[in-house]
Amino acid sequence: MNHSSRVVGLVGLGLVGSALGRRLLAAGFDVLGYDVDAARREAFAAAGGRAAESLAAIGAKCERVLLALYDTATVEQVLEGSDGMLGARHQAILIVDCGTGDPDRRAGLALRLVAHGATLVEAPLSGSSAQIAAGEALCFVGGEPGAVERAADLLDAIAARRHHVGAVGMAARAKLATNLVLGLNRAALAEGLVFAEALGLPGKTFIDLLRDSPAYSRAVDAKAGKMLAGDFAPQARLEQHARDVGLMLEHAAALGQVLPMTEAHARLLADAIAAGDGDLDNSAVIVQIRRYRTHVARSSGA
């Protein structure tokens, strides 16, 4: 492998992007990172990366670039916008999109990028930023086999486990479906914990019981501690999951499929965001469930 292939671009240095950066740096890559937030660029440089001053710099210097951006619209702007990254390219580039995106728009983007000499591989990750940083996330991969092979060492660096599920668009579909179950598991954990405490069962005792019962899920290990401690420093923001839930419902509606539990979950998340909790960790859903209990108690005169 030549030296230039070890120079990797990274666009988006938020929770997920900074975790990806740490994984790539630990694997020995020379990572050139960019974010519109100058403070994030400075933090990335302090962590051992190199900060780029523009998208054009990333496009001009890197043959392979990872994206950790909010949504597909942002990805399209970063790649195809008037000040986008591809305008500075004069040779082929491999784009690895690690965000949770719209499956249909992502597939369309992959087709358009061919005209720019670019190839898209999608690699959304299932796991919080802390789990990504620890190498514990699962990666869903979508793309042509040859392109996936070109990205193999990058994928090895960012996740210990991955599944290649088909062409571009299929990984986004897989991520949405698994995120549906993950989010409901987290909400069920929060609701069960609130209910147990209302019944007089200590929270820690309840969590210990869950771990040894058929009701156990990995959400217990990932989020129970934060819920018990009231520690909602973000590892994965509540608002971000609400956006994903919106995508789930949008695509389900297009298919004529009703998702009743996900519709209830969407209302729960919307209420939490309206209460100001959108930037908190998604485990803060428990706070909103407690608000419902408080509202009912007051309205009943208790």
Give the start-to-end residue ranges of the domains of the chain.
3-167, 173-299
Spell out the alpha helix ranges (H) of the chain: 15-26, 38-46, 55-61, 72-80, 103-113, 129-133, 145-150, 152-158, 170-198, 203-211, 218-229, 238-255, 260-274, 285-299
- Strand, coil or helix: 164: strand
Cβ-contact 152, 143 below 8 angstroms: no
- Strand, coil or helix: 80: helix
How far apart, in whole angstroms, are the C-alpha atoms of residue 294 and residue 82?
Answer: 50
Which contacts (CB < 8 Å, 24+ apart) does range 141-148 have?
A: 141/165, 141/171, 142/106, 142/166, 142/167, 142/168, 142/169, 142/170, 142/171, 142/172, 142/174, 143/110, 143/119, 143/167, 143/168, 143/171, 144/119, 147/94, 147/119, 147/120, 147/121, 148/121
How far apart, in whole angstroms, are the C-alpha atoms of residue 182 and residue 126?
Answer: 9
Per-residue pLDDT of the chain (302 residues; tens, 9 = 90+): 444 468 999 999 999 999 999 999 999 999 999 999 999 999 999 999 999 999 989 988 999 999 999 899 999 999 988 788 887 555 689 999 999 889 999 999 999 998 888 999 999 999 889 999 999 999 999 999 999 999 999 999 999 999 999 999 999 999 999 999 999 999 999 999 999 999 999 999 999 999 999 999 999 999 999 999 999 999 999 999 999 999 999 999 999 999 999 999 999 999 999 999 999 999 999 999 999 965 555 544 54
Which amino acid makes up residue 213?
S
Give the pLDDT confidence score for residue 41 in this predicted structure: 96
Name the CATH architecture for the domain at 3-167.
Answer: 3-Layer(aba) Sandwich (3.40)
Q: Model-level pTM greater than 0.85?
A: yes
Q: Which CATH superfamily is domain 173-299 in?
A: N-(1-d-carboxylethyl)-l-norvaline Dehydrogenase; domain 2 (1.10.1040.10)
Joined together, the tokens standing for residue 156 give 């090895």
